[in-house]
Chains A and B, each alone.
Chain A
Amino acid sequence: MAKSVFKGIRISGIAGAVPKAMVNNLTDHRFCPEDDRKKIVALTKVAGYRKAPPEMCTSDLCQAAAEALFSGLNRRPEEIEAIVFATMTPDYRIPSTACLLQDRLKCRTSVVAYDINMGCSGFVVGLYNACSLIQGAGLKKVLLLTGDTQTKLCHGQDKNVVFILGDGGTATLLEAETGTDEIVIELMTDGSRFQNLYVPAGGNRRPSTDATREVREQADGGIRSEEHIYMNGMEIFKFSSTDVVKSIAEFMEKEKISPNDIDSLFLHQANGFMNDKIARKLKFSDEKVPYTIGFYGNTGSASIPLTMAHHFSQKGSAVRERCLASGFGVGLSWGVASMVIDGICAPPVLELA
């Protein structure tokens, strides 16, 4: 089991950026009857989300977040020794977008930079990588970028995803510092269930053809092509409310922590109904479970740090909170992390036009 304990690391700052353009689930998506739109919003709690225009990529959002973080923390890009970029929506198939961000952020060429192809678990997997680079490789400052522009993967009339998935990017700075609290991370993977949440065609296994690009009503009633994202809603609900809940509960038991010991539980912002069920099963009271899904939707690998950025920007920099975070989804991949936020730079979430 990939559980690791990291010491001597501070999470110095978290910043988020979202597109300025909003989608309103009640008034947009006219393909769906008004009564259904109201019921879906009541169920998922996603009143709306942000949608990137065609020319805006995930990396643009992460770059803006990183620059805001450098400014807020008074750090120079040259101080960064590694860039870890977790996303399902890179700029190009080749190369890693992290390489482009080294140049765009004006970091040194001596920087380590790579992408991690992960979605909803991207923050915890990225955190694991960033902490490993500090504790294992002895780096001092690692920039973790996570984000997705999932609206580019959705067909506009697939109601399983189009009411939920939004766009966002984040930047988190981790720095070596003695005397800080431990960061504990446990990661899990079950590739046997990958087809419950994936883009079936357009990669090397099933290359793009006219047939895979054809938009039609699929067996589950969703309107999309095979090059759009597909989600088996019930299987993902089952996975999230059983495997993920079990993993968080076991993590808490092993770490000897109860909901009373935790100030904030940051769940991947999957959908409101599901997250409520998860929090209730784990016996967390509502006030300990911050949400941003209502206005940002499910932003994939950005959802946890975007929620943290929103939460801590309101709490102020002097806050001290013991936090638990859990990301889960595409892979299937999931993970749990515990950390103490003890003073943090969290500028207000940016809006990019």
Chain B
Amino acid sequence: MLTVEEKIRDLFAALLQVPADEVKDETRPASLERWDSMQHLILVSGFEEEFGLDIDPEEAVEMFKDFATFKRIVIRHMNSKS
């Protein structure tokens, strides 16, 4: 049974089409070639669709910092839904 954090990492990696083990908390757009601005919006849109979230644009911008921030905001939205 996957934890929430693992599910987020796996979806993130699947949407970006990179191996899941390349995605770590400290992973940043500058350190992951596939994570550019266009792919970032595809990620945000993909998470919204998969988990039924509505992520605010300011948060979407904040999520472009590193994977830890991305994950934290997704979890916050998931918790506020449940």
Contacts and interface: CB of A to CB of B under 8 A. Distances in A.
Interface in A182-207: none
Contacts of B56: 281
Given A35-B17, A39-B42, A237 B57 contact: yes
Contacts of B54: 280
Contact of B37 (A234, A245, A281): A234
Interface residues of A, number: 24
A237 B54 CA distance: 16
A316 interface: no
Contacts of B45: 42-43, 273
Interface of B: 15, 17, 33, 36-38, 40-42, 45, 54, 56-58, 60-61, 64
Contacts of A43: 38, 41-42, 45
Interface in A233-254: 233-234, 237-238, 241-242, 245
A70 to B, nearest CB: 41
Contacts, number: 53
Interface string A218-243: 00110000000000111001100110
Nearest to A242: B58
B33 A221 contact: yes
Interface string A53-75: 00000000000000000000000
Interface string A19-30: 000000000000
Nearest to B40: A234
25 contacts: A39-B15, A39-B42, A40-B42, A42-B45, A43-B42, A43-B45, A159-B38, A160-B36, A160-B37, A163-B38, A220-B37, A221-B33, A233-B36, A233-B38, A233-B40, A234-B37, A234-B40, A234-B64, A237-B41, A237-B57, A237-B61, A238-B58, A242-B58, A277-B60, A278-B57
Contacts of A277: 57, 60
Contacts of A238: 57-58, 61
Most buried by B among A42, A234, A277: A234
Nearest to A232: B37
B36 A221 contact: yes
A241 B42 contact: no
Contact of B57 (A163, A232, A242): A242
